[in-house]
């Protein structure tokens, strides 16, 4: 997509807009931001994202950055990570954060829900084996509390254990002592976050106006 800098861009953007549901203006904005982040390169590397100063304070910064390079979020059936992403991939990750449109049918809503939760699930499931096991869950909570100093680290484990226990008991019911709960599968994940209105909560506002001039975030 790089070569078609000027001529193909319009067409490509239109194409992407059709596929992702973003408006052309939004794509234009995201593209501008992409170029800004990648220093006008075609691809974006982890370092580019890691250099955003505003992210420094984010406890789950590493996970967020990983999510952008996770193949599961980019293509449907592959696992593993990539080193660099192009604009299209960047945009694909962003689609997970689009607000729900008006007048969705029940089915569409459910799909949207699954899709958003899948994104979260993938962020937790670092080894891509389809379950979040205790180790992974502990890591999530630890990351989450990583800014809280030592108290956080010590409590994190307890919290993760309690959370895991909760998952096991809500999804499995009573377990025999010899049974073992392998980890949270995606179905379990859907189940425990049943009341969590992800479809109305997981979104950011993608502006239609040009924000590059505001120079937020990236200090140059």
Residues 27-46 that bind another protein (CB under 8 A): 30, 33, 36-37
> Which positions ≥6 away from 39 have C-beta within 8 Å?
48
Helix (H) or strand (E) holding 54: none
Taken in order 110, 115, 116, 119, the sign of the CA dihedral is positive
d(CA 121, CA 131): 9
Which has the closest alpha carbon to 66: 26, 20, 119, 13? 119
Which member of 41, 45, 51, 55 binds another protein (CB under 8 A)?
Answer: 55
Which member of 2, 4, 162, 208 binds another protein (CB under 8 A)?
Answer: 162
Q: Which listed range, 3-11, 17-25, 74-82, 209-217, lies at the site for another protein (CB under 8 A)?
A: 209-217
Query: Within 88-107, which residues bind another protein (CB under 8 A)?
Result: 94, 97, 99-100, 102-103
- We find the least distance from the C-beta atom of residue 9 to another protein, in angstroms, to be 19
- 85: contact with another protein by CB under 8 A: no
Which member of 12, 15, 84, 161 binds another protein (CB under 8 A)?
Answer: 161
- 82: contact with another protein by CB under 8 A: no
Query: Within 175-194, which residues bind another protein (CB under 8 A)?
Result: 175, 177-183, 192-193
Query: Which pair of tokens denotes residue 157?
Result: 């484990």
d(CA 118, CA 122): 6
d(CA 136, CA 143): 11
- 155: contact with another protein by CB under 8 A: yes
- 47: contact with another protein by CB under 8 A: no
């Amino acid at each position: 997509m790089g070569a078609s800098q000027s001529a193909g861009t319009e067409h490509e953007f239109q194409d992407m807009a059709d596929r992702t549901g973003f408006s052309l203006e939004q794509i234009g904005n995201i593209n501008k931001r992409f170029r800004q982040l990648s220093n006008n390169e075609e691809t974006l590397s982890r370092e580019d994202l890691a250099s955003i100063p505003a992210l420094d304070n984010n406890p789950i910064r590493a996970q967020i950055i990983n999510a952008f390079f996770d193949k599961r979020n980019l293509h449907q059936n592959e696992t593993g990570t990539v080193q660099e992403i192009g604009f299209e991939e960047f945009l694909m990750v962003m689609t997970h954060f689009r607000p729900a449109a008006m007048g969705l049918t029940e089915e569409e809503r459910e799909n949207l829900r699954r899709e958003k939760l899948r994104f979260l699930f993938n962020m937790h499931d670092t080894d891509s084996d389809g379950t979040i096991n205790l180790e992974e869950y502990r890591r999530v909570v630890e990351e989450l509390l990583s800014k809280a100093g030592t108290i956080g680290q010590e409590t994190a484990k307890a919290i993760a254990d309690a959370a895991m226990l909760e998952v096991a008991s809500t999804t499995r019911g009573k377990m025999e002592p010899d049974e073992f709960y392998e980890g949270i599968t995606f179905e379990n994940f859907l189940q425990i976050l049943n009341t969590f209105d992800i479809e109305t909560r997981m979104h950011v506002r993608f502006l239609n106006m040009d924000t590059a001039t505001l120079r937020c975030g990236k200090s140059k």
